[in-house]
Amino acid sequence: CIPSGQNVETQWDERQLVTLINGWLQKLDEKTQALFVRRYFFLQPIDELATAFSISQSNVSTQLYRARKNLKEYLSKEGYEL
């Protein structure tokens, strides 16, 4: 058997983080959730997001910044430090 390089604790931490992020995403309003997922999961460029949502690139950047800040606070409250 070839070791995977990950121990049980690392796998547990990763699963916990995924669970926390999914829970946080569920709490977001639909627009913010869509922006966040399309940007950070599907790597869609900001200019494409702006066009798709009929908002400025600056507005997209601001909303994503606020979402990341909110996620960081949420994870901290849940005991997960970055």
Q: What is the pLDDT of residues 33-73, one digit of tens each?
A: 999 999 999 999 999 999 999 999 999 999 999 999 999 99
pTM of the model: 0.83
Mean per-residue pLDDT of the chain: 92
8 A C-beta contact, residue 27 and residue 16: no
CA dist 35 and 4 (Å) reads 34
For residue 67, the model assigns a pLDDT of: 98
